């Protein structure tokens, strides 16, 4: 069946609803919200329908509708009684009287339907599968709910107010270009970030063509599974002009970037710092100065072993606007996907994140502090240093049979979890082919993995 989505003003045609049960009630609620003129005809009605009638928001005729019911010409008639014979007869007579019909009991016989709606008033997104699958309609609606920020209504209101100014300031041929620039510019993002003043000045700059200041977004991409991105990270990923990304940002996440955006790999391989940190900091400044919207995309969270602080220091010094978007850090992602709670009432009351990065073959950590009964230890960047770390922890007094989990490629489809002890892990690592990235979790919480890991 071919259908045509149209948006109908709620208040121009009367709606007649035959039936006043639960199904009718849902239609009535939708119509009332749209400001429609609604009359319900049924011998009995739900409490909500009675309430709406008592409040004067709808008309209610408590009687059985007859087959010879008269409808005002051009009405929209919703047949929601539980009597199919009556619905059929009323559908025919309503059409003869020039009305459009929606039957809730025989959807193939509809002149119009009620689509599912994502409501960000005044923005409304309606979804229909032309009657093919109400379940798919609901599914798509849920997805759109997640992808349209709640504040889109505010964005729509802002755009509505801006229309008049645009009309007055710009000649007609320039308006479309303005809106394209504006919607892809910074102002909508600032409105969503509730920075109204900056949004206003951005809009002013966009209107008078001064809008050539860049901006940097330092975004955490999470540990690998693209489903672990935040909504804001996704929006920024999709609207950047230029992207500087790390090795830990996986292909599935890179696929979300606009194909037209420039992208540069600035990641580090172990002992091969392909782009020195100072150069990265400088690149961000230079690109933003060129008026670009720059995405600095990092694995995990930018402020946990991500050198995010250094990058924004430079931006702050150069007065370049920036935002930092947190990501799920490897410790949280790996712990959840490996079924190892980092704290647990019976095991650990604190958790400590340390870096096991080796400098000249050893790593300097406050070993005594790390040996603590109720504490889980999470070691980032530690695979090559792992034998050294295990030995130092034992030397500092940690029991040699303390369980250790090595989470390989955490949250990714080929994640593996290797569970050993401080004493046995070094030999195991030496004999096993293990791929980076890996995260090490030390402590008795690791014993929970067997029971709590996903099947
Ligand atoms: N900012 C990142 C950490 C960067 S340091 C974060 O918050 O997660 C890089 C280290 O993070 C890696 O050496 C590894 O120890 C850890 N790591 C990152 N992603 C990982 C993953 N998917 N699985 C296991 N470890 C990971």
Ligand 1 lining (C-beta closer than 6 Å) = 223-224, 248, 298-301, 304-306, 329-330, 334, 380-381, 407, 409-411, 437-439
Share of the chain above pLDDT 70, in %: 96
The rounded mean pLDDT for the chain is 91
Cα–Cα distance, 45 to 48 (Å, whole number): 8
Q: Which CATH class is domain 331-452?
A: alpha beta
CA–centroid distance, 228 to ligand 1, in Å, is 14
Atom in ligand 1 nearest the alpha carbon of residue 331? 8
Strand runs (DSSP E) across 98-210, as ranges?
Answer: 100-103, 116-120, 123-127
- Residue 224 and residue 409 in contact, taking contact as beta carbons nearer than 8 Å: yes
CA–centroid distance, 99 to ligand 1, in Å, is 63
**Residue 347's pLDDT band (boundaries 50, 70, 90)?**
very high
Q: Whose CA is nearest to atom 6 of ligand 1?
A: 300
Task: Of 296, 301, 370, give the one whose Cα is nearest residue 330.
Answer: 301
Q: Whose CA is nearest to atom 5 of ligand 1?
A: 305
| Residue 268 is a catalytic residue | yes
- Residue 339 and residue 449 in contact, taking contact as beta carbons nearer than 8 Å: yes
Q: What is the pLDDT of residues 24-52, one digit of tens each?
A: 999 999 999 999 999 999 999 999 999 99
Q: Which of 225, 246, 298, 301 is catalytic?
A: 246
Domain 213-328 has CATH 3.40.1010.10: yes
**Residue 249's pLDDT band (boundaries 50, 70, 90)?**
very high
| Per-residue model confidence (pLDDT) at position 382 | 77
| Per-residue model confidence (pLDDT) at position 177 | 60
Averaged pLDDT for residues 150-165: 93
Atom in ligand 1 nearest the alpha carbon of residue 412? 22
User: What is the DSSP track for 405-444?
Assistant: EEEESTTSTT-EEEEEETTTHHHHHHHS--PSPEEEEESG
**Residue 273's pLDDT band (boundaries 50, 70, 90)?**
low
- Residue 273 and residue 249 in contact, taking contact as beta carbons nearer than 8 Å: no
Substitution candidate for ligand 1 out of 330, 386, 441 with most atoms within 8 A of CB: 330
> Does residue 270 register a pLDDT over 60?
no
CA–centroid distance, 401 to ligand 1, in Å, is 25
| Residue 246 is a catalytic residue | yes
> Does residue 180 register a pLDDT over 70?
no
End-to-end CA distance of the chain: 43
Q: Which CATH class is domain 15-114?
A: alpha beta
Q: pTM score, two decimals?
A: 0.68
Q: Whose CA is nearest to atom 11 of ligand 1?
A: 380
| Per-residue model confidence (pLDDT) at position 10 | 86
Q: What is the pLDDT of residues 185-200, one digit of tens each?
A: 889 989 988 998 999 9
Cα–Cα distance, 360 to 357 (Å, whole number): 10
Task: Of 31, 30, 65, 15, give the one whose Cα is nearest residue 45.
Answer: 65
Averaged pLDDT for residues 140-159: 90
| Per-residue model confidence (pLDDT) at position 142 | 92
CA–centroid distance, 372 to ligand 1, in Å, is 24
- Residue 223 and residue 410 in contact, taking contact as beta carbons nearer than 8 Å: yes
Strand runs (DSSP E) across 72-185, as ranges?
Answer: 76-79, 100-103, 116-120, 123-127
Cα–Cα distance, 310 to 333 (Å, whole number): 24
CA atoms within 13 A on the CB side of 346: 6
Atom in ligand 1 nearest the alpha carbon of residue 415? 23
Q: Whose CA is nearest to atom 23 of ligand 1?
A: 410
CA–centroid distance, 222 to ligand 1, in Å, is 9
Cα–Cα distance, 198 to 186 (Å, whole number): 9
- Is cis: bond before 122, omega within 30 of 0? yes
Atom in ligand 1 nearest the alpha carbon of residue 301? 7
> Does residue 210 register a pLDDT over 70?
no
């Amino acid at each position: 069946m071919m259908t045509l989505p149209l948006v109908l003003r709620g208040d121009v045609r009367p709606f007649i609803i035959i039936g006043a049960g639960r199904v009718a009630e849902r239609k009535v609620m939708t119509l009332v919200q749209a400001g429609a003129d609604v009359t319900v005809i049924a011998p009995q009605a739900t409490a909500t329908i009675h309430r709406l009638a008592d409040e004067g928001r709808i008309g209610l005729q408590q009687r059985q509708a007859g087959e010879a019911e008269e409808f005002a010409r051009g009405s929209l008639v919703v047949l929601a009684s539980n009597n199919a014979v009556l619905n059929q007869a009323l559908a025919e007579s309503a059409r003869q009287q020039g009305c459009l019909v929606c039957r809730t009991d025989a959807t193939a016989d509809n002149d119009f339907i009620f689509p599912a709606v994502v409501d960000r008033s005044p923005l409304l997104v309606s979804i229909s599968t032309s009657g093919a699958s109400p379940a798919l309609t609901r599914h798509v609606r849920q997805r759109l709910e997640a992808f349209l920020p709640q504040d889109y209504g505010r964005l729509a209101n802002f755009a509505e107010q801006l229309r008049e100014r645009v009309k007055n300031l710009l000649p007609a041929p320039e308006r479309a270009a303005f809106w394209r620039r504006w919607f892809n510019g910074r102002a909508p993002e600032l409105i969503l970030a509730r920075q109204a003043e900056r949004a206003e000045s951005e809009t002013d700059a966009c209107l008078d063509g001064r809008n050539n200041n860049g901006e940097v977004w330092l975004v955490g991409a999470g540990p690998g599974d693209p489903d672990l991105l935040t909504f804001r990270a996704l929006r920024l990923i999709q609207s950047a002009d230029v992207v500087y990304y790390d090795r830990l940002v996986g292909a599935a996440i890179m696929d979300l970037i606009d194909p037209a955006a420039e992208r540069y790999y600035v990641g580090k391989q172990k002992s091969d710092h392909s782009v020195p940190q100072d150069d990265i900091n400088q690149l961000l400044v230079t690109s933003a100065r060129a008026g670009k919207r720059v995405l600095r995309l990092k694995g995990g969270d930018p402020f946990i072993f991500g050198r995010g602080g250094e990058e924004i220091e430079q931006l702050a010094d150069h007065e370049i606007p920036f935002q930092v978007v947190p990501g799920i850090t490897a410790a949280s992602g790996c712990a959840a996907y490996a079924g190892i709670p980092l704290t647990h009432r019976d095991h650990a009351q604190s958790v400590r994140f340390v870096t096991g990065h080796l400098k000249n073959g050893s790593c300097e950590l406050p070993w005594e502090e790390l040996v603590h009964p109720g504490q889980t230890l999470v070691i980032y960047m530690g695979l090559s240093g792992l034998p050294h770390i295990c030995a130092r922890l034992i030397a500092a007094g940690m029991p040699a049979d303390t369980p250790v989990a090595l989470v390989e490629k955490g949250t990714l489809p080929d994640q593996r979890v290797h569970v050993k002890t401080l004493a046995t892990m070094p030999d195991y690592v030496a004999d096993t082919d293990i791929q980076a990235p890996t995260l090490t979790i030390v402590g008795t919480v690791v014993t929970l993995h067997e029971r709590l890991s996903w099947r």
